Amino acid sequence: MNEIRSMSVLPAIREDIELRTTDGLTLVGELALPESGHPVATILFLHPLPTAGGFMDSHILRKASNRLPALANIAVLRFNFRGVTSPRGTSEGQFGDGIDERFDFEAALAFIRERGLPNPWVIGWSFGTEVALQHAVDHGVAGVLLLSPPLHRTSAEALARWNENDVPIVALVPEHDDYLKPAEARDKFAIVPRVEVVEVEDGKHLWVGEQQTYRVLSEIVRRLNPSALPLPTHVA
């Protein structure tokens, strides 16, 4: 048996994709599918702040794509927001401060639906949570999971709109987050009573280290395919 480590890449069907936005941009990304059978759910990842180095290869996104198709039968779509570069390539356009990224999110969700992928959960990390909260509310997604939500760009009015539907919302808030700690998160999310705020002991905003990665991936799988828990730490 081999231990799953930071750079482990488990078997999957991986496809380089392009997304076309309704405002005329081409974005680059990757779709990872289980090697066989149909996925039980789909992750649409929204990455951290581009101006602070966030991109589709930010480590939680990369590790989820490298592991979850094999370990949990989950499809993973990740892409670069407009103007962002990664080894996959550069998405056209320029940073839109969370406003124009609405078109990017909508293009990715449209791709998922065109491919017939099931149960799309939007998972944002940091800046990606702001895009999710502002723009996913009217799109009938299966759920929303927020990693280290800063709530810098999301107004109380934007949050309150989520009371108009019953989409599950989970916020993973690190105990030692740099921007929004658990007590403050509970206060701010109280405007939407169904938001489940999960305090992650010893967690930090960047989720560094295998222990924190394992916790985040386990919390994701708990919502999308709980029968796959506990996630293996070793593979043949």
Q: What confidence tens digit (pLDDT) does each residue in 172-223 have?
A: 999 999 999 999 999 999 999 999 999 999 999 999 999 999 999 999 999 9
DSSP-assigned beta bridge partners for residue 90: 85
Fold observed for domain 2-235:
Rossmann fold (3.40.50)
Q: In the chain, how many H helices and how many E strands?
A: 6, 12
pLDDT, position 28: 98
pLDDT, position 23: 98
Is 2 within 8 Å of 235 (Cβ atoms)?
yes
pLDDT, position 99: 98
Which regions of the chain are under pLDDT 50?
none
Is 152 within 8 Å of 159 (Cβ atoms)?
no
pLDDT, position 3: 97
DSSP-assigned beta bridge partners for residue 77: 31, 44
Q: Provide, rounded to the nearest whole percent, the portion of the chain with pLDDT above 90.
A: 99
Residue 182 has a CB neighbour count (10 Å cut-off) of 19
Residue 196 phi/psi, 5-degree rounding, is -95, 110
pLDDT, position 25: 98
